């Protein structure tokens, strides 16, 4: 079902942002990838396609050296871009690359933290402030509270325990909590997300962070029984960060999680908001509303 809607959405986006779009210079976006415990070769190209077909962005991909190789040559020119999309979960960057990234965000650069990018760099304090929440890689109570929703309210829970987990992949309902936020405005209050991982028990500094949407992590699918954050914004320095935990891409032939219209539209709106503070990407007519 999701696939059909996806085709309709793509047509809608082409109509909205294709020939009818004003002749504005596209925002340059940089997808950072090259190491990940996911199929980054597929995901980075899919994300690039979404960005380029939106009519709003012109996206490049920068690929790090492979795992285990010298990272000193890896120094993306972050400052040349309006949005940096992190599709990276691998070896530490050089100090120069880290400093260039922080300088970019501090000066107002837009960042999209995509799926397992919130697993990366557990020791890098500022990176974890930028992602807000993260998981795995030894994260626990030292890294910050668990953050989730209970009875419609945000909970910060400092009890000890590992950070980051997910149950088995399944379709689930995404619930918006910020209908007036530019990224969420005009989207339904709830929609069905295609089969995906549902991250849970994320922990982090969670400062200057707004949870835009949650999903209920059912114990029957190996979850927590909590409403777990799935879409967030963070501000760091002058930078705007959009964090989506959605969109798992593994080695299977099909990638329903990243192809779902709910993923695509929130990814594009989040990227545009991160780059500009505003959103022009329209909500699709055919949203998989619950």
Q: What residue ranges bind Zn ion (CB under 5 A)?
A: 197, 248
d(CA 112, CA 132): 12
Number of Cβ atoms within 10 Å of the Cβ of 106: 13
Of the pair 17, 166, the CB lying nearest Zn ion is at 166
Check if the beta carbon of residue 146 is closer than 8 Å to that of residue 202. yes
Nearer to Zn ion, 129 or 197 (CB): 197
Classify 43 as helix, strand or coil.
helix
User: Which residue, 65 or 250, is less far from Zn ion as judged by CB?
Assistant: 250
Shortest distance, CB of residue 247 to Zn ion, whole angstroms?
8
What is the spatial distance between Cα 236 and Cα 127, in angstroms, rounded to a whole number?
10
155-172: burial string, b at 16+ Cβ within 10 Å, e else? eeeeeeeebbbbbebbbb
* Shortest separation between residue 148's beta carbon and Zn ion, angstroms: 19
d(CA 72, CA 74): 5
DSSP state of 206: -
Cα(44)–Cα(206) distance, rounded to whole angstroms? 26
- Give the orientation angle of helix 261-276 with respect to helix 40-53, to 10 degrees: 70
Report, in Å, the least distance between residue 115 CB and Zn ion. Answer: 6
Q: How far is the CB of 34 from Zn ion (least distance, A)?
A: 17
**Six-digit token string for 15:** 């109509």
Min dist. Cβ of residue 163 to Zn ion (A): 15
Number of residue whose CB is nearest Zn ion: 248
d(CA 62, CA 53): 19
CB nearer to Zn ion: give 252 or 289. Answer: 252
Nearer CB in complex with Zn ion: 128/244: 244
- Compute the least distance from the CB of residue 38 to Zn ion, in Å: 5
**Would you say 36 or 214 has its CB closer to Zn ion?**
36
């Amino acid at each position: 079902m999701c696939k059909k809607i996806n085709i309709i959405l793509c047509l809608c986006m082409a109509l909205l942002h294709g020939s009818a779009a004003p002749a504005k210079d596209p925002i340059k976006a940089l997808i950072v990838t090259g190491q990940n415990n996911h199929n980054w070769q597929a995901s980075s190209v899919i994300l690039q396609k979404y960005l380029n077909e939106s009519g709003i962005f012109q996206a490049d991909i920068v690929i790090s050296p492979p795992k285990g190789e010298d990272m000193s040559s890896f120094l993306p020119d972050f400052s040349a871009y309006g949005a940096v999309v992190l599709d990276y979960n691998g070896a530490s960057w050089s100090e120069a690359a880290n400093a260039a990234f922080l300088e970019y965000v501090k000066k107002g650069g837009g960042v999209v933290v995509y799926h397992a990018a919130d697993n990366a760099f557990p020791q890098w304090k500022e990176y974890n402030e930028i992602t807000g929440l993260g998981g795995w890689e030894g994260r626990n109570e030292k890294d910050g509270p668990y953050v989730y929703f209970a009875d419609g309210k945000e909970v910060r829970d400092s009890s000890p325990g590992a950070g980051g987990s997910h149950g088995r992949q399944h379709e689930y309902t995404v619930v918006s909590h910020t209908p007036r936020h530019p990224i969420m405005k005009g989207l339904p209050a709830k929609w069905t997300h295609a089969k995906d991982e549902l991250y849970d028990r994320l922990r982090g500094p969670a400062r200057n962070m707004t949870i835009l949407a949650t999903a209920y992590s059912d114990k029957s699918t190996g979850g927590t029984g909590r409403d777990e954050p799935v879409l967030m914004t963070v501000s760091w320095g002058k930078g705007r960060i959009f964090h989506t935990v959605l969109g798992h891409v593994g080695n299977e032939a099909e990638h329903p999680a990243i192809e779902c219209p709910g993923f695509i539209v929130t990814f594009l709106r989040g990227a545009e908001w991160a780059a500009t503070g505003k959103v022009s990407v329209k909500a699709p007519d055919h949203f998989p509303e619950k």
